[in-house]
Amino acid sequence: MSENKILFEAGSFDGISEEIGKLTSNEESRLKLTPDNADSGLAKLVLTLVELIRKLVEKQAMRRVDGGSLTDDEIERLGATLMKLEEKMEEMKKHFNLTDRDLNINLGPLGDLM
Amino acid sequence: MEKMIYALLSANTDQKEVISLLAGRKGLSGADLYLVSTAEMAVVACDIKRDDIIANSYNAIEYASVIEMLAQHFTLLPVRFGSVMESTDAILQMLERNLDDIQQNLLKVEKKYEFGLKIFCDSEKLKADLKAKPEAMSKKAETADQEITQSIYRDWVNKKLKEHRLEEMLLTYVDSVIAEIKGHLCMLQAVSKFNKMKTSTMIIDAVFLLDMERKDALIGAVADLQNQHSSLTFVLTGPWPPYNFVDFTVK
């Protein structure tokens, strides 16, 4: 973005350029599949989808807990399940050398997946 | 040779002026830019081979600069980079098929420009600020602590519940900022579109369509909002061609 298109900004132009650059650069989130890394590339794609679904489930569960519609036993079981899912996900990320950032795909104008 | 399309213009546009503006400007392929027109509509295009269309930032900026130059003088509908038609006949047929949609969209953006507002913040710091507000987090969270206690699973739920409530508070805060912006926009008779939480740092990404003479009022409104929200960074850009206000798919 050229500087003359900025009509108002409270920060520095460099700072803004950096922030906007983060939005347009999807280098890190790009799936780089080659014959040598097919396993990890595929793992990244699959784990990204699993993580998205896990987070959606977790969010919905928290909405229900917050809404007060679950009994103590149900909350206990929910906690056990979700916590184990989270731990399992951490294990898999470690196994494939992936970080949270790796699993967050940049969807360009739509922003980050998660 | 195929035709790359840059923009759609109303037939009321002074075509001589368009042609004089295009004189000397080259399209992506280095070919001349020209007008394809019907009685109701005109299209700015250039000849290109499909293989010459390379989607990189240089070409995208070159392409956008042609649209930008035209938009400074005429009402137009910008066309997405890489839009190619097989021939002049194909363009004319497309114009005929989409005449109503194109005219409606041209009417909507007539003599208007797009402005973009991006609002940045450190969302973790903002959450911490929201959490520190006495009336906000504490009561609900304390209730949760009392109700859901003991066992590692319940502790885990409790922790996640607090995070969830902070997220909800952040969204409520973002909604309140959007409501404030909309309040200002009402006075400017602007059409607006909002996206929130695109990334962890960009909490609002908005576009407005409004008359050029209201530009200074918009800048003033954004400055007021910035003064009221010191923890946020407001960035207003424009004027742009109405990229985000063309609402039709070519048939």
What's the 3-state SS for B90-148? Answer: HHHHHHHHCHHHHHHHHHHHCCEEEEEEEEECCHHHHHHHHHHCCCCHHHHHHHHHHHC
> What distance in Å separates the CA atoms of residue A87 and residue A89, rounded to the nearest whole number?
5
Amino acid B119: pLDDT: 95
Indicate the average pLDDT of chain B: 89
**Contact indicator for A51, B146 with CB cutoff of 8 Å:** no
Higher pLDDT, A12 or B124: B124
Put simply, the answer to whether A112 touches B200 (Cβ < 8 Å) is: yes
Q: Which positions 12-51 of A are in contact with B (Cβ < 8 Å)? A: 15-16, 19-20, 22-23
Q: Considering only CB atoms, which chain A residues are within 8 Å of B195?
A: 111
**Contact indicator for B204, B119 with CB cutoff of 8 Å:** yes
Distance from CA of A106 to the nearest CA of B (A): 9
* Per-residue pLDDT tens over the stretch B134-185: 655 555 555 555 555 578 999 999 999 999 999 999 999 999 999 999 999 9
Put simply, the answer to whether B233 touches A9 (Cβ < 8 Å) is: yes
Put simply, the answer to whether B164 touches A80 (Cβ < 8 Å) is: no
Amino acid A65: pLDDT: 94
Q: Considering only CB atoms, which chain A residues are within 8 Å of B197?
A: 111
* Per-residue pLDDT tens over the stretch B28-67: 878 899 999 898 899 999 999 988 888 888 899 999 999 9
> What distance in Å separates the CA atoms of residue A113 and residue B121, rounded to the nearest whole number?
19
| A84 touches B at CB < 8 Å | no
**Contact indicator for B237, A1 with CB cutoff of 8 Å:** yes
Q: Considering only CB atoms, which chain A residues are within 8 Å of B165?
A: 66
> What distance in Å separates the CA atoms of residue B176 and residue A94, rounded to the nearest whole number?
40
Q: A88: domain range?
A: 3-110
- The half-sphere exposure of B187 on its side-chain side, counting CA atoms within 13 A, is 10
Q: Which two tokens stand for residue B208?
A: 């407005």
| A65 touches B at CB < 8 Å | yes
> What distance in Å separates the CA atoms of residue B36 and residue B18, rounded to the nearest whole number?
11
Q: Which residues contact A100 (CB under 8 A, 6 or more apart)?
A: A93
Place B116 in a pLDDT band, splitting at 50, 70 and 90: very high
Amino acid A84: pLDDT: 95
> What distance in Å separates the CA atoms of residue A108 and residue A47, rounded to the nearest whole number?
20
Q: Where are the alpha helices (DSSP H) in chain B?
A: 15-22, 57-71, 88-97, 99-109, 123-132, 137-147, 152-188, 215-228
Put simply, the answer to whether B222 touches A8 (Cβ < 8 Å) is: yes
Amino acid A27: pLDDT: 59
- Write down the ipTM of this complex: 0.77
Amino acid B182: pLDDT: 95
Total domains in chain A come to 1
Q: Which of B58, B80, B140, B157 to mutate to test the interface with A (most CBs of A within 10 A)?
A: B157
| A8 touches B at CB < 8 Å | yes
Amino acid B120: pLDDT: 92
Lowest pLDDT segment from A17-21, A80-84, B115-119, B219-223: A17-21
Which of B218, B200, B221, B201 is closest to B209 using CA atoms?
Answer: B218
Partner residue facing B198 (CB), from A9, A10, A111: A111
Q: Which of A3, A9, A112 to mutate to test the interface with B (most CBs of B within 10 A)?
A: A9
Q: Phi then psi for A106, rounded to 5 degrees? A: -85, 120
Distance from CA of B188 to the nearest CA of A (A): 17
Q: Considering only CB atoms, which chain B residues are within 8 Å of A59?
A: 164
> What distance in Å separates the CA atoms of residue B20 and residue B12, rounded to the nearest whole number?
16
Q: How many CB atoms lie within 10 A of CB A78?
A: 22
> What distance in Å separates the CA atoms of residue A103 and residue A9, rounded to the nearest whole number?
32
Amino acid A9: pLDDT: 86
Q: How many CB atoms lie within 10 A of CB A75?
A: 21
| DSSP letter (8 states) at residue A103 | G
Q: Which two tokens stand for residue B219?
A: 């800048």
Amino acid A114: pLDDT: 72
Lowest pLDDT segment from A46-55, B10-19, B75-84, B102-111: B10-19
Quick one: B60 exposed, middle or buried, by C-beta within 10 A (0-12, 13-18, 19+)? middle
Q: Per this entry, what is the length of chain B?
A: 251
Is the per-residue pLDDT at B8 higher than 90?
Answer: yes
Put simply, the answer to whether A79 touches B153 (Cβ < 8 Å) is: yes
Q: Which two tokens stand for residue B14?
A: 């002074």
* Per-residue pLDDT tens over the stretch B65-76: 999 999 999 999
In the numeric block, the tokens 């959606």 are attached to A56
Distance from CA of B205 to the nearest CA of A (A): 10
Chains A & B: contacts with CB separation below 8 Å: 92
Closest A-chain CA to B157: A79
pLDDT profile of chain A (114 residues), mean per 10:
78 68 61 73 89 94 93 93 95 91 76 73
Closest B-chain CA to A110: B198
Q: Which of A5, A8, A113 to mutate to test the interface with B (most CBs of B within 10 A)?
A: A8
Q: How many CB atoms lie within 10 A of CB A99?
A: 10
